[in-house]
Amino acid sequence: MNRLKTLLDTKKDLLSIYFTAGFPQLNDTNTILQALQKAGVDFVEIGMPFSDPLADGPVIQKSSTQALANGMSLQVLFQQLADMRQSITMPVILMGYLNPVLKFGMERFIDQCAEVGVDGLILPDLPYELYHEKYRDLFEARNISNTFLITPQTPSERVQMLDQNAKGFLYMVSSAAVTGATTGLNQFQLDYFNRINAMKLNSPKMVGFGISDRSSYRQVCQYANGAIIGSAFIKMLEESKDLTVDIKNFVASIKG
Amino acid sequence: MFHPNEKGFYGQYGGAYIPEMLIPNIEELKKNYLEILESETFQKEYHLLLNDYAGRPSPLFKAQRLSDKYNTNIWLKREDLNHTGSHKLNNTIGQILLAKKMGRQRIIAETGAGQHGVATATVCALMGLQCIVYMGQTDMERQAPNVARMRMLGAEVRPALSGNRTLKDATNEALRDWIANPTDTFYLIGSVVGPHPYPDMVARLQAIISLEIKQQLKQKVGTELPDYVIACVGGGSNAAGSFYHFLEDASVRLIGTEAAGLGVDSGETAASMACGDIGIIHGSMTYLMQNEDGQITEPYSISAGLDYPGIGPLHAHLKDSGRATYMPVTDEESLQAALELTRLEGIIPALESAHALAVLPKMNFKPGDQVVVTVSGRGDKDMKAYMEYFKLTE
Ligand SMILES: Cc1ncc(COP(=O)(O)O)c(C=O)c1O
């Protein structure tokens, strides 16, 4: 049974939160995961920190640097997540760059993902073609879904090709930008959402990058199955004195 | 066998490990670069600018006193005599013509020593295009004269504030800028690094170095083929250009020298081949310095242009195939080599180029050997380091 597919098939206006593993403190990963589920978030992306996150803006860069300084690594992350399926029922996706994964060993990595109950992956610097050629069989054998990104510049034929090969959802990058909270959506972005909608794709779509508050969340839900919030959440964590309370309030401020 | 396949792989190295946001731009470049580079109009404009603007061909100079010292025949390929003071201009002239043909108005670049930044700012001034150069803050301080040159040329220099604030970090920022500006911007990469097709494109634009060496050596000693070609390797563009037309000539020994910083075992080094292993950096599979978790290690070298934890994928392939040999050179050795060249031949080299000269004492040349060393740039920008080390102000 695929948790992610069931969720995407049955529910609308999904809210997904991205956070960096091992931030603010090394052992906050599980606290945050529990608090997010309790607050009613639909699924999460756990960021695997990397020294050189070239698709990320300053907020996620900073959290990654801090997490690495705290001692986070894939080995530590899998230890932290070892028992998560005793309490976490929502889908969990890992997001991160390819180099640490290759160093860990792709096969070993996929095995561990399956073992701890990770549902899917987002590896931004593994383009579809290289995924297909080198790793697809491995992912599919362990039932780990890979997630492809589309952007306002992705040509229609490529969007269609990615749609046909997507197993979970298509990650719609909201604008030409690295990650980082901005306010409001402009006409160019709305035109892009409309264009993609008119293509009547098979895959569910989640919009990410630049979604930061209730209004941007509500707005993109009109065009997609839901939204992913990252930098705005991490900014909140940076200042939080009580993670559980602040996470509850943050999610309520978006969804409530 | 030394050219990339259509997906950009040299053996297992290279490729384009890039986020979806960069794919339209990389695809467009991939589709166009060979056709444009090989077209007659491009070739005409490129060579006209190389000759009349850069001042090529650069001389191949017989360094007689250096030859006497090492009891062999040492030839210096004088890239330091190019306009702007290094080999970097060969590449920027080519890429700016390409950018114009592709209709891009806004040019971005990364720079370490500032030589690529200056060479980019120069061609942008020449063509009337907007220029933004990312430079690590550490490098802005140690290569201050080049920051001033870029600004005088009308470029905006933006400091990179992450990591060690050197070339790797500047490259990250340039890539982020390109992601955020996908339609009007051309990323003018300064070395044979980054996603395909950059390594191949930059190698082709630097290949003029070895083309000229062949012609000049033929004229001077009657043979096109030297016994050795020696060049320093940061990302590896002056070395790629120096090796390019000799790759199929097995008798020519190709030596690249990388920056060992305080030594390959010191932890303060930029010797990606001696100290690194295989991974992905800036979109390319290659040798890089990383820890056991696959986090990229902060490099160190006195030479800002060699202070990079990776190396172009062509060089990774040349190393594995045994076609080229790579030798580490410390800060100290390079400084001594810089002084030696200055005192024996009256040429103050860039610290990067001094890393090539520094292997001369380690080689066992025969008296009849023809040895070509590429002097990739001049030392003006490094006077601060030379003044401190050699106490020139006392
Ligand atoms: C004079 C000089 N030589 C060499 C290099 C290293 O670059 P590459 O290895 O691409 O030739 C630089 C880079 O800044 C440079 O300025």
Phi, psi of B76 (to 5 degrees): -105, 125
| Contact yes or no for B195/B283 (Cβ under 8 A) | yes
> Per the CB < 8 Å rule, is A127 touching B16?
yes
My answer on whether B92 and B152 are in the same domain is yes
Is the pLDDT at B206 greater than 60? The verdict is: yes
**DSSP character at residue B51:** I
pLDDT of the residue at A177: 80
The helix (run of H) or strand (run of E) holding residue A173 is: strand A170-173
Residue of A nearest to B21 (CA): A151
pLDDT tier, A237 (very low <50, low <70, confident <90, very high otherwise): very high
pLDDT of the residue at A240: 97
Which residues on adjacent β-strands are paired with residue B86?
B377
User: Is B4 part of any domain?
Assistant: no
Which residues on adjacent β-strands are paired with residue B77?
B60, B374
Nearest one of A123, A130, A179, A174 to A148, comparing CA atoms? A123
Q: Residue B201 has which token pair?
A: 């494109």
Domain boundary among B171, B202, B233: B202
> Per the CB < 8 Å rule, is A124 touching B19?
yes
My answer on whether B293 and B332 are in the same domain is yes
Nearest-angstrom CA–CA distance, A60 and A235: 9
Return mean pLDDT, chain A.
95
pLDDT tier, A169 (very low <50, low <70, confident <90, very high otherwise): very high
Phi, psi of B86 (to 5 degrees): -160, 175
Strands (E), A12-169: 14-20, 43-48, 92-96, 120-122, 145-146, 148-150
The helix (run of H) or strand (run of E) holding residue B297 is: none
For residues B224-236, give the mean pLDDT.
98
My answer on whether B106 and B66 are in the same domain is no
pLDDT of the residue at B376: 98
User: Is B114 part of any domain?
Assistant: yes
Domain hosting residue B79, numbered range: 55-85+207-390
pLDDT of the residue at A175: 85
* DSSP 3-state of A148: strand
Tell me how many domains chain B contains: 2
Which residues of chain B make contact with A102, given a CB cutoff of 8 A? 279-280, 294
| CA distances for A176 relative to A147, A149, A219, angstroms | 18, 12, 18
Nearest one of B205, B233, B222, B210 to B311, comparing CA atoms? B233
For residues A15-24, give the mean pLDDT.
98
Single-letter amino acid, residue B265? D
pLDDT of the residue at B311: 98
- Burial pattern B373-388, b for ≥16 Cβ within 10 A else e, equals bbbbbbbebbeebbee
Q: Residue A65 has which token pair?
A: 């640097």
Single-letter amino acid, residue B184? D
Domain boundary among B178, B202, B226: B202
Q: Residue A131 has which token pair?
A: 């995924």
> Per the CB < 8 Å rule, is A125 touching B17?
yes
Q: Which residue's C-alpha comes closest to atom 12 of ligand 1?
A: B305
The distance of B155 to chain A (nearest Cα, Å) reads 23
Percent of chain A surpassing pLDDT 70: 99
> Per the CB < 8 Å rule, is B295 touching A101?
no
pLDDT of the residue at A183: 62
My answer on whether B228 and B316 are in the same domain is yes
Domain boundary among B202, B229, B260: B202
User: How many residues are given for chain A?
Assistant: 256
pLDDT of the residue at B163: 85
How many Cβ atoms from other residues are within 10 Å of residue A242's Cβ? Answer: 10
User: Is B279 part of any domain?
Assistant: yes
Q: Residue A3 has which token pair?
A: 């948790």
pLDDT of the residue at B255: 98
Surface-to-core class of residue B260, CB atoms within 10 Å of its CB (0-12 exposed, 13-18 middle, 19+ buried): buried
My answer on whether B187 and B134 are in the same domain is yes
- Burial pattern B261-294, b for ≥16 Cβ within 10 A else e, equals bebeeeeebbbbbbbbebbbbbbbbbbbbbeebb
CATH code, domain carrying B185: 3.40.50.1100
How many Cβ atoms from other residues are within 10 Å of residue A138's Cβ? Answer: 15
| Contact yes or no for B76/B155 (Cβ under 8 A) | no
| Contact yes or no for B115/B381 (Cβ under 8 A) | yes
Least confident of A14-18, A92-96, A215-219, B351-355: A215-219
My answer on whether B155 and B223 are in the same domain is no
Surface-to-core class of residue A126, CB atoms within 10 Å of its CB (0-12 exposed, 13-18 middle, 19+ buried): buried
Closest residue to A154, CB basis, from B20, B175, B293 = B20
User: Is B2 part of any domain?
Assistant: no
Domains of chain A: 3-255 (3.20.20.70)
Query: For this structure, is B110 an active site residue?
Result: yes
> Per the CB < 8 Å rule, is A153 touching B179?
no
A interface test, pick of B17, B21, B292 with most A CB neighbours within 10 Å = B21
Nearest-angstrom CA–CA distance, B198 and B110: 14
Judged by phi (left if over 0) then psi (alpha if -120 to 50, else beta), residue A130 lies in alpha
User: Is B193 part of any domain?
Assistant: yes
Is the pLDDT at A1 greater than 80? The verdict is: no
My answer on whether B169 and B280 are in the same domain is no
Q: Report chain A residues touching chain B, CB-CB < 8 A.
A: 50-52, 54-55, 57, 61, 65, 68, 73-75, 97-104, 124-130, 148-151, 153-155, 158, 173, 176-178
Q: Which residue's C-alpha comes closest to atom 4 of ligand 1?
A: B352
| Contact yes or no for B350/B341 (Cβ under 8 A) | no
| Contact yes or no for A148/A128 (Cβ under 8 A) | yes
The helix (run of H) or strand (run of E) holding residue A206 is: strand A205-208
Which residues of chain A make contact with B15, given a CB cutoff of 8 A? 130
Nearest-angstrom CA–CA distance, B294 and A114: 21
pLDDT tier, B164 (very low <50, low <70, confident <90, very high otherwise): confident
User: Is B153 part of any domain?
Assistant: yes
For residues B201-209, give the mean pLDDT.
98
Select which of A28, A42, A56, A163 is catalytic. Answer: A56
Nearest-angstrom CA–CA distance, B98 and A239: 47
Q: What is the pLDDT of residues B286-302, one digit of tens each?
A: 999 999 999 999 999 99
Which residues of chain B make contact with A98, given a CB cutoff of 8 A? 17, 280
Does the CB of B24 have a partner CB in chain A at under 8 Å?
yes
My answer on whether B195 and B317 are in the same domain is no
Radius of gyration from C-alpha coordinates of chain A: 17
B interface test, pick of A64, A73, A103 with most B CB neighbours within 10 Å = A103
Strands (E), chain B: 9-10, 13-14, 60-62, 73-78, 106-111, 130-136, 156-160, 185-187, 228-233, 253-261, 277-281, 284-288, 324-330, 370-375
User: How many residues are given for chain B?
Assistant: 394
The distance of A94 to chain B (nearest Cα, Å) reads 16
* DSSP 3-state of A168: coil
Ligand 1 pocket: which residues have CB below 6 Å? B 86, 112-113, 115-116, 191, 232-239, 305-306, 350, 352-353, 376-377
The CA-CA-CA angle for residues A35, A41, A45, to 5°, reads 85
pLDDT tier, B142 (very low <50, low <70, confident <90, very high otherwise): confident
pLDDT of the residue at B125: 98
For residues A153-173, give the mean pLDDT.
96
| Contact yes or no for B284/B194 (Cβ under 8 A) | yes
Query: For this structure, is A239 an active site residue?
Result: no
pLDDT tier, A180 (very low <50, low <70, confident <90, very high otherwise): confident
- Residue B273 C-alpha to ligand 1 middle, in angstroms? 17
My answer on whether B155 and B220 are in the same domain is no
Nearest one of A247, A182, A210, A231 to A64, comparing CA atoms? A231
The distance of B180 to chain A (nearest Cα, Å) reads 4
pLDDT tier, A181 (very low <50, low <70, confident <90, very high otherwise): low
My answer on whether B191 and B65 are in the same domain is no
User: Is B1 part of any domain?
Assistant: no
User: Is B6 part of any domain?
Assistant: no
My answer on whether B154 and B222 are in the same domain is no
- β-strand pairing of B106-111 with B73-78: unpaired
My answer on whether B218 and B303 are in the same domain is yes
Q: What is the pLDDT of residues B21-45, one digit of tens each?
A: 999 999 999 999 999 999 999 999 9
Nearest-angstrom CA–CA distance, A158 and A146: 16
Query: For this structure, is B44 an active site residue?
Result: no
